[in-house]
Amino acid sequence: MSQPWKDTINDARQTGNPDTCIIGGDYVGHEIANRLVNKGVSVALVDTMPPSDPPPELTVHCGASLGLTELRRVNIHEGTTILSVCPEDGVNLLMAQLARTQFGVDRVIARVNDPRRVTAFKDLNIETVDAAAALGRLITERW
């Protein structure tokens, strides 16, 4: 039986810096990672839940928690786009701020689950995806 929390990156995939780093999100993060990899984007996924069948091009880092230690292992640089898509707004805000202050990342996009918190992210110059508005729009377009 495998360990529930482990780094699933292999040596062949450790080289280079990712174009995009996706932080968290469980199935949402996995879906975004797969879609970007299919578009030819270099992606690193940092999460507490490993994907069941990641494409070979995807670099995956799994740990018991999300934080600075995990981000340091990904080779983030100022040109990396950070997507923080955790289900907790506070975690997304913290990860976005760490990416900016510790790694000098210019582009950070965060999932915001509570629409009342969008302003807090925007005040810190963090691009947002309002999950409630996006899902509401997709559902009503099918109506």
Q: What is the mean pLDDT of the chain?
A: 88
- The one-letter amino acid at 46: V
What integer pLDDT is reported at residue 26 of this predicted model?
A: 92
pLDDT in tens, 87-127: 999 999 999 999 999 999 999 999 999 999 999 999 999 99
Residue 64 has pLDDT above 60, yes or no: yes
Residue 3 neighbours by CB under 8 Å, 6+ apart? none
Strand partners, 21: 44, 82
What integer pLDDT is reported at residue 53 of this predicted model?
A: 86
Two structure tokens written together for 19: 């174009």
Residue 39 has pLDDT above 90, yes or no: yes
pTM across the whole model:
0.86
Instruction: Read off the pLDDT band of 50 (50, 70, 90).
Output: confident
3-state secondary structure at position 88:
coil
Residue 42 has pLDDT above 60, yes or no: yes
Q: Which CATH architecture has domain 17-141?
A: 3-Layer(aba) Sandwich (3.40)
